[in-house]
Amino acid sequence: MAHSFPSIQEELQQRRPFRSRREELFIALLRSAAVVRRPVSKVVEEHHLSLAQYNVLRILRGAGEHGLPTLSIRERMIEEAAGITRLIDKLEAAGFVSRDRRNATDRRQVVCRITTEGMSLLASLDSVVASATHDVLALLDDERIVALLALLDEVRAGAHLNSSAH
């Protein structure tokens, strides 16, 4: 049996129609991102992390023992983080990240690595975050997930093309 879901216009209780389908889609993307972010944000905040800090820890876990320079971390962030240095400062103060300022080729470069404590924290969050993301996407089967991923790839590609043209 097919479910009926409120439109973005209904959900936002907007009386006037959107100016265009593109505007409606843009607002729906922003609202959807906010709605799906909430449960994961709640989980990581219970561990005194922001989503951006959680993202940094995941990036560093993926980088392995070699770590990454600060600017490389910033480039890999899901959302832009203007204050990446402050973000890493907080993670370092909490013992989740270490910094190595000893680079033979560029002494200004700082390499960040996840610590054992950071790895333990992520390990404790992995199943809870996986459960939250599963719950958020529970109405979508694998076929629809693949289709949505392809559409979102196109949206991001178009945004990248247009941002580099300006």
CA distance 13 to 98: 47
User: What predicted TM-score, i.e. pTM, was given to this entire model?
Assistant: 0.86
CB 134 within 8 A of CB 140: no
CA distance 72 to 76: 6
CA distance 164 to 140: 33
**What pLDDT tens digit does each residue of the chain (166 aa) get?**
456 788 889 888 999 999 999 999 999 999 999 999 999 999 999 999 999 999 999 999 999 999 999 999 999 999 887 789 999 999 999 999 999 987 656 656 789 999 999 999 999 999 999 999 999 999 999 999 999 999 999 999 998 887 766 5
CA distance 6 to 43: 26
Q: Domains (ranges, CATH) in the chain? A: 33-165 (1.10.10.10)
- What are the two backbone dihedrals, phi and then psi, of residue 103, each rounded to the nearest 5 degrees? -110, 120
